[in-house]
Structure 1
Amino acid sequence: MPNSASAKKDLRQNQTRRMHNRAVRSVMRRQVGAVRAAVKAGDIEKAEAEFRLAAKRLDKAGAKRIIHPNVADRTKSRLQHLIKAAKTATAAS
């Protein structure tokens, strides 16, 4: 437990920041899941629309260091690859 006043304030600030970061990360993960679900369902247009939102959320989280920026870029790349593969599979059949 913190003893000094500044340590107590640090604890309060850390808890507030932690809850905010968890909320941002949770929304971001749900958005990525929505893209994956749309691709799995075969709805390419919806997947592309969801991807635009996911990319925005990933970029924001990376910029604020909630996740590493490289993780944000890698996730966007993998989602884009999923969408592209689904497009070619739909066009081929």
Structure 2
Amino acid sequence: MANIKSAKKRILVNRTKAERNKSIKSSVKTAIKKVDVAIAAKDKEAATAALINATSVIDKATKKGVYHKNTSARKVSRLTKAVNSIA
């Protein structure tokens, strides 16, 4: 356990930020799953709508510093490619 005041504060701040990041990552995963479900059902309209929402959620997470920009670009690219492959 930390004894120095600044170290104690760092523990508290890191815990708070970790909870925030976990919440944001969870919402991103949920948005991605909604796209995947629509793709599995081969519902082009629902998949497109879910993709727009997922892209927005991923971009917001990137803006908040939860994801690196290349990571978010990769996620969006893979989702877009999957939605476009629906015949």
Counterpart code for 2:39: V
1:10 and 2:10 matched: yes
How far apart are the structure 1 equivalents of 2:27 and 2:11?
24
Given the two structures, how large is their TM-score scaled by the length of structure 1? 0.88
1:4-50 Cα offsets, whole Å, 9 max, x none, are 11111111110000000000001101101110110111111111111
Secondary structure of 1:66's partner?
A: coil
Any gaps of 5 or more consecutive residues in structure 2? none
How far apart are the structure 1 equivalents of 2:26 and 2:41?
22
How far apart are the structure 1 equivalents of 2:12 and 2:2?
10
Aligned to 1:56: 56
Larger radius of gyration: 1
How far apart are the structure 2 equivalents of 1:7 and 1:71?
31
Secondary structure of 2:85's partner?
A: helix
Per chain length, whose mean CA-contact separation is higher, i.e. which structure has more relative contact order (CA < 8 Å, sep 6+)? Answer: 2
Given the two structures, how large is their TM-score scaled by the length of structure 2? 0.94
Percent identity between matched residues is 33
Secondary structure of 1:2's partner?
A: coil
Q: Which runs of 4+ in 1 moved over 2 A?
A: none
Aligned to 1:84: 84
Aligned to 1:19: 19
Q: How many residue pairs get matched?
A: 87
Deviation at 1:64, TM superposition (A): 2.1
Q: What is the root-mean-square deviation in Å for CA atoms of aligned residues?
A: 0.9
Counterpart code for 1:62: T
How far apart are the structure 1 equivalents of 2:71 and 2:79?
12
Deviation at 1:83, TM superposition (A): 0.9
